[in-house]
Structure 1
Amino acid sequence: MAWNVFKFCTALRALGSVIIVFVLGIVSLTYYVVVLADYGPSLFLGGLDSLLSLLVLPLFHSLLVMLLWSYFSVVLTDPGGVPPNWRPVTDEERGEADSLVESEYNGSDLASNRLDDLDHQRVRFCQKCNQFKPPRCHHCSVCGRCILKMDHHCVWVVNCVGAFNYKYFLLFLFYTFLETTVVTLSLLPYFIAFFTEGEIPGTPGTLAATFITFILNFAFALSVMGFLIMHLSLVGANTTTIEAYEKKTTPKWHYDLGRSINFEQVFGTDKRYWFIPAYSEEDLRRIPALQGLEYPTKPELNALRPL
Structure 2
Amino acid sequence: MILRLDPCGLICVLMIYGSVVYADYVVTIWMVMPVFGNSVWGAFHITLFNTLIFMTLFSHGRTMFTDPGIVPILKNKYVYTELISHLFYKIRAYTHWTMCTRCESFRPPRAHHCRVCRRCIRKMDHHCPWVNNCVGEFNQKFFLQFLFYVGLSIMILSWIYDDEFATTGLKGPFGENAHHAKVLHSIFLSMECAVFGMFVLAVSCDQLGAIFSEETAVEAAQRRTKQVYKRGSRKGRFALLREVCGGGSLYSWFIPCSSPPVSRDHCVDRRKLNHIDI
Instruction: Report TM bin, short chain.
Output: 0.7 to 0.9
Deviations 1:261-282 (A, max 9, x none): 21121011101421111327xx
Aligned twin of 1:305: none
Alpha-carbon distance in structure 1 between the residues aligned to 2:148 and 2:156: 12
**Aligned residue in 2 for 1:134:** 108
Which structure is higher in helix share?
2
Task: Give the distance between the partners of 1:199 and 1:220, measured in 2 at CA.
Answer: 25
Paired residue for 2:68, among 79, 85, 95? 79
The CA deviation at 1:236 is 2.0
| Runs (5+) with no aligned partner, structure 2 | 75-79, 173-177, 269-278
Among 10, 13, 32, the residue aligned to 1:20: 13
Q: Which moved more, 1:77-86 or 1:145-154?
A: 77-86
Identity over the aligned pairs, expressed in percent? Answer: 30
5+ long unaligned stretches in structure 1: 1-11, 100-119, 296-307
Quick one: distance in 1 between partners of 2:218 and 2:165? 40
Alignment partner, residue 266 of structure 2: 293
Instruction: Give the Cα separation in 2 of the matches to 1:208 and 1:190.
Output: 16
Of 253, 256, 259, the residue aligned with 1:274 is 253
SS in 2 for 1:252: coil
Partner of 2:152: 178
Higher RCO (C-alpha under 8 Å, 6+ residues apart): 2
| CA–CA separation in structure 2 for the residues paired with 1:258 and 1:40 | 47
CA distance in 2, matches of 1:265, 1:240: 14
Contact 2:28 2:46 in 1 (8 A): yes
Q: Residue 138 of structure 1: SS of its match in structure 2?
A: strand
Matches within 5 A, 1:197-216: 199-202=169-172, 203=178, 204-216=180-192
Amino acid at match of 1:210: S
C-alpha RMSD of the superposition: 3.2
Q: How many pairs does the alignment contain?
A: 245
The runs of 4+ residues in structure 1 deviating greater than 4 Å are 85-88, 189-193
Question: 1:127 Cα shift?
Answer: 0.8
Give the 3 Å change call, closer, same or farther, for CA 224–39 of structure 1 in structure 2. Answer: same
For residues 21 and 222 of structure 1, what CA distance do their matches in structure 2 show?
19
Could you state the TM-score of these two structures normalised by the residue count of structure 1? 0.69
Cα distance, 1:55–1:233 mapped onto 2, change above 3 Å? farther
TM-score between the two structures when normalised by the length of structure 2: 0.76
Question: Is 1:80–1:147's contact at 8 Å kept on the other side of the alignment?
Answer: yes
Give the letter aligned to residue 36 of structure 1.
I
Distance in 2 (alpha carbons) for counterparts of 1:273 and 1:292: 24
User: Which residue of 145, 148, 159 corresponds with 2:119?
Assistant: 145
Residue 254 of structure 2 aligns to a residue in which SS? coil
- Do 1:152 and 1:162's aligned partners in 2 also have CA atoms closer than 8 Å? yes
Provide the C-alpha distance between the structure 1 equivalents of 2:256 and 2:110, rounded to a whole number of angstroms: 22
Judge conservation of contact 2:73–2:104 (CA < 8 Å) in 1.
Answer: no
What residue number does 2:97 align with? 123
Conserved? CA contact 2:92–2:98, under 8 Å: no
What do the CA deviations read for 1:246-300 (whole angstroms, capped 9, x no partner)? 33432326x75332321121011101421111327xx74xxx42x79349xxxxx
